[in-house]
Structure 1
């Protein structure tokens, strides 16, 4: 369904869940769009053909460069949305109605009316659709192969019992963009239960923390491994290196030994680390 090895974007924005020093170094390494673009060029050149990313403003000029380079025509893109900080800042600065007007594409009056109507009727589905459209506008004409909902929203919807919106997200991605939809989560077992047993989705795509030391694996490592072993969802392991706490060889051997891990999402800052991780993963997956 998807490539076994997928490159991620955490390092571009100084995200490291174990070390603040590493976060600072990464942020300094990728200060400009050119810094990020050169890394993605290298990733593409060595044969990693999938990139999963948050819809961060800093990536806009990077995508403009990619659009002009035919080498990226077969480079698969997997946007993950919504980028919460962008919307939170706009909400504070502009208020809910102006925020919708700012981010919704097309006719602002009609888009705004649809959004306001949704707020009044307490129906969040039209707003979800508008915001997906807004994020996808950035990637027009590019090789988008899937759309992913970030865990900040996925897990909130599960906590609120609003499971129907997860279903609507999958349907909208398929009907509007003809792509698969997937979900990030901080609780693999709970999401798996909702998608497979309650919503009856066929092989839903789940991205969660999966690593040898159980770092951020919720509710616990054993329960996650048990859910994976059912092999009725498409599972993508993230944080498989536990933010650098596990050596790449050991980390790769662990995910390769598990039933039910279909792909691995990883980020790295230097060409040597990117190539080493790619080769280790390809040897075990």
Structure 2
């Protein structure tokens, strides 16, 4: 068995939902944020505020706007010496939009890695489809998504819940092994998995031999969007050996920061919390709540 050195996870991770109009409680607020953050300087201003508050890890989708952030960080290594990306892929809307605008072949071409010729990739892709070789397809898509992060720090790479939960539903468990092995071998990174059904995901990863996985899921005091039930989440947090990253700890505003982090701090299995914020005040508020609860 190969032994992998575990990545040390920061306690607070900064997410990107607010930049792209995602708010689970208010569509009006989501639209307003999406309009505001069409301006790159507004988006980077919030990221700078988080970074200057000591929150150095950006857990982000592979939305095309993130490529701008990656280039900005790449262009000023001194300023962003500790800036770390946790890419979360795939960004499903990007693929859907490309299919609509460019057609199937154009979409595939637009996402091919630059370090391989079109002929070579087409051959590999064609062979993969012909043989139902999903392994080859998964690797190509991961490589395509990782292009924007070239030369940047990416110690954990996540598979998004839209794909994770689809694979869970289909019972295609081996895909998780393919993803994990490729992320480790090609990028020297740890694989992470985002899911809306934590208990079932942990069962599956254990079954395919992925030990102490990094898994991100909704975890909060009131059971908000915790598929499988809050009691089952409490049980796996007590009994299962995994590295938990909690999202939606505020339940989209239904829980105060103080209550949220008191609950988090009472669960030692939770190593990190990912949160989104659109202002320096909210970032400071989250950090203060985490400090007062003894989480950081």
- Bucket of the pairwise TM-score, normalised by the shorter protein: over 0.9
The answer to whether the 8 Å contact 1:97/1:112 transfers is no
Which residue pairs with 1:64 in the alignment? Answer: 71
Which residue pairs with 1:12 in the alignment? Answer: 19
Establish whether residue 38 from structure 1 lines up as the match of residue 55 from structure 2.
no
Structure 1 residues 282 and 145, CA gap change in structure 2 (3 angstroms): farther
The answer to whether the 8 Å contact 1:104/1:112 transfers is no
TM-score w.r.t. structure 2 length? 0.92
The answer to whether the 8 Å contact 2:73/2:83 transfers is no
Structure 1 residues 90 and 225, CA gap change in structure 2 (3 angstroms): same
Aligned residue pairs, count: 284
**Secondary structure of the structure 1 residue equivalent to 2:88:** strand
Deviation at 1:96, TM superposition (A): 3.6
Which residue pairs with 2:284 in the alignment? Answer: 275
Question: Aligned to 1:188, which of 182, 191, 198?
Answer: 198
Deviation at 1:249, TM superposition (A): 0.9
TM-score w.r.t. structure 1 length? 0.96
Question: Aligned to 1:21, which of 7, 15, 28?
Answer: 28
Which residue pairs with 2:160 in the alignment? Answer: 150
Which residue pairs with 2:260 in the alignment? Answer: 251
Distance 2:33 2:106 in 1: 34
Establish whether residue 79 from structure 1 lines up as the match of residue 87 from structure 2.
yes
Deviation at 1:54, TM superposition (A): 0.3
Distance 1:157 1:122 in 2: 15
Which residue pairs with 2:248 in the alignment? Answer: 239
Q: What are the within-5 Å matches in structure 2 for residues 93-242 of structure 1?
A: 93-105=101-113, 106=115, 107-196=117-206, 198-242=207-251
Deviation at 1:95, TM superposition (A): 4.1
Deviation at 1:243, TM superposition (A): 1.1
Deviation at 1:231, TM superposition (A): 4.2
Which residue pairs with 1:91 in the alignment? Answer: 99
Establish whether residue 265 from structure 1 lines up as the match of residue 277 from structure 2.
no
Deviation at 1:188, TM superposition (A): 0.4
Q: Any stretches of 5+ residues in structure 1 without a counterpart? A: none
The answer to whether the 8 Å contact 1:5/1:263 transfers is yes
Structure 1 residues 98 and 115, CA gap change in structure 2 (3 angstroms): farther
The Cα RMSD (Å) is 1.3
Q: Any stretches of 5+ residues in structure 2 without a counterpart? A: 1-7
Distance 1:24 1:101 in 2: 31
Distance 1:207 1:71 in 2: 29
Structure 1 residues 50 and 282, CA gap change in structure 2 (3 angstroms): farther
Structure 1 ranges of 4+ moved more than 6 A? none
The answer to whether the 8 Å contact 1:73/1:143 transfers is no
The answer to whether the 8 Å contact 1:231/1:259 transfers is no
Deviation at 1:150, TM superposition (A): 0.3
